[in-house]
Homo-oligomer: A and B are copies of this chain.
């Protein structure tokens, strides 16, 4: 089987030229999957969908320093562009945007940036200060850089598992009037309900069994069988599981609300030493 290699763009100007040329040549829709590289099965699943749903399929590979905190692993984060490009070639992706840091942030960190205020400082943001603002800042740039013009539908793909990130991206599109349609990608689960994550590999067989309490409790909460307090107690009572939070929020602004229809239930817990997140619409 022959695969066409994607064009790898390393500058903003080159990416814009490639997109303009392909739109001029007839591409009527553009799709973007933003990643930090080190692509795994889950990414490739979304790349396939991006490919299938758009004339022009673009994947960005950029380890964004802004979304790492001081104690975090920006330097040691895995970088394997050649492997990633090969994997994306097999999925038929057209363009890979892999800029160096200096191309995205010439002269250092941006002076003007994106902030999600308190909505990005709670829940996952509480354990990673600045993380969401960094992610929003780089995705805002990707949206503006790639904007193919008013007549060309432009879609961006984000997983539902990182619910807070997805909600903030949707909110940015609305608050900034980006002409981008966010296409959420549903959580993929094991047969027994555990949300797939690269961190699941750290779970022992026994821990993986205990971790099922997260999904089971979300289902019961969504069905109205448990109050929020009972749901928390059920998670906390599971051996080896330590609850970080279990809340229901308004997907518009991430404010805490009662577990009523339309709300989103979010859970984070340590199972042994491994931190897992999951979520479900009520």
Contact = CB atoms under 8 A, between A and B. Distances in A.
B145 A148 contact: no
Interface in A141-184: 141, 144-145, 147-151, 168, 171-172, 174-179
A116 interface: yes
Given A20-B150, A150-B16, A176 B111 contact: no
A20 B107 CA distance: 35
Contacts of A9: none
A200 interface: no
Interface string A111-142: 11111110100000000000000001000110
A177 B107 CA distance: 14
A141 B252 CA distance: 19
Contacts of A141: 175-177
A260 interface: no
Interface residues of A, number: 37
Given A177-B12, A252-B107, A172 B112 contact: yes
Given A149-B150, A252-B107, A144 B176 contact: yes
18 contacts: A12-B177, A16-B150, A19-B150, A110-B175, A111-B171, A111-B252, A112-B116, A112-B168, A112-B172, A113-B114, A113-B175, A114-B114, A141-B176, A141-B177, A147-B147, A147-B149, A148-B149, A149-B151
Interface of A: 12, 16, 19-20, 106-107, 110-117, 119, 136, 140-141, 144-145, 147-151, 168, 171-172, 174-179, 252-254
